[in-house]
Amino acid sequence: MLTDTDRRFLRIAYDEAREGFEEGGCPIGSVLARGETLVSRGRNQRVQGGDPIAHGEMDALRKAGRQKTYRDTTLYTSLSPCMMCAGTIVQFGIPRVVVGENATFGGNEDFLRARGVEVIVADDPDCIALMTRFITEKPELWAEDIAED
């Protein structure tokens, strides 16, 4: 169940995704929060930075800098995490992930849940609409982002 705090941070992740889309990149945004406190925010930077692993979640984690622990954080992401990002979530011990949507890309919710991560899928209509637009307008870039030929 989404809390008001979840909705606030998910909106920031969506705003990051929208900004990435406007920059010509893949519209995936992410936020790392500790309770009600924003730790960092980021967006997919693969196109903008020419970095193949600069997914939204990775950008937010990079911007968070070193943390003594992640066990008291929540990661918010506009789109369900890919396996690379899901593995990082598990590696860092992030206990909770709020996903904007998984209708356009079914990520790795089962992988995360099997490793004890609480996963909440918001089915956010704005996140769905933005990704649907991106996939329709830039199918080649989307295929590149998810490593499909």
Give the catalytic positions in this structure: 57
User: Cβ contacts of residue 40 below 8 Å, gap of 6+?
Assistant: 31, 32, 60, 61, 63, 64, 65
Torsion, Cα 67 71 74 75, to 10 degrees, reads 60
Could you tell me which of 3, 68, 4, 56 has the C-alpha nearest to residue 32?
56
